[in-house]
């Protein structure tokens, strides 16, 4: 079917027929796995939280927790962005926006009210780091994939980065968490 939709040269047709379905299936398996971990992470929060959701434009899977407090206005933001970030949020996602290959694809943690001391916070696992230009914590997919327990590595990243952002933001954790 793909061959009839896209006029590939015949020498590439065999490569495309085998590569695209394999890559799509592998990507789907990763999304299903990450979705399970994100849902487990979301379950420990009783405040407002987004469902795990997929952004088609960037192929990102994400989950967001809300503090319940209004956030500072975002100068220059369009009306949709203003509404989306009208309250303090801390989001986590599987992001391809900074990746050139799947090996480079990071898991990210983005507190939307960035604090200067956020980068000084200790987070886990040891491979996780704060990216000063992006102003986000990152954990590379390959580090998770090769960890002794990928589930535990990803959950540690999600929880430790949330803890850092929520503590610095003085979120009312007692009422927001189970």
Global pTM reads 0.81
| Residues 24-39 pLDDT 10s | 888 888 889 999 999 9
Instruction: Say if residue 65's pLDDT is above 90.
Output: yes
Residue 64's pLDDT is: 92
Displacement of CA 1 from its chain's centroid (Å) = 33
Torsion of CA 145, 151, 152, 158, to 10 degrees: 90
Q: Which of 59, 55, 106 is nearest to 84 (CA)?
A: 55
Sheet containing 53-55: order of strands:
53-55, 60-70, 87-94, 106-111, 136-140, 129-131
């Amino acid at each position: 079917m793909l061959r009839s939709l896209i006029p590939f040269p015949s020498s590439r047709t065999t490569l495309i027929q085998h590569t695209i379905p394999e890559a799509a299936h592998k990507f789907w398996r990763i999304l299903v796995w990450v979705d399970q971990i994100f849902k487990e992470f979301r379950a420990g929060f009783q405040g407002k939280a987004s469902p795990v959701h997929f952004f088609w434009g960037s192929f990102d899977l994400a989950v967001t927790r809300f503090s319940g407090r209004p956030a500072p206005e975002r100068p220059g933001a369009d009306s949709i962005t203003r509404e989306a970030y009208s309250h303090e949020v801390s989001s986590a996602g599987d992001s391809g926006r900074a990746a050139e290959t799947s090996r480079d694809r990071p898991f990210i943690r983005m507190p939307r009210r960035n604090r200067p001391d956020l980068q000084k916070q200790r987070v886990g696992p040891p491979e996780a780091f704060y990216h000063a230009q992006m102003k986000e914590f990152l954990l590379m997919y390959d580090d998770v994939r090769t960890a002794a327990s990928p589930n535990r590595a990803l959950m540690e990243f999600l929880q430790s980065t949330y803890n850092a952002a929520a503590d610095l933001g003085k979120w009312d954790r007692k009422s927001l968490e189970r």
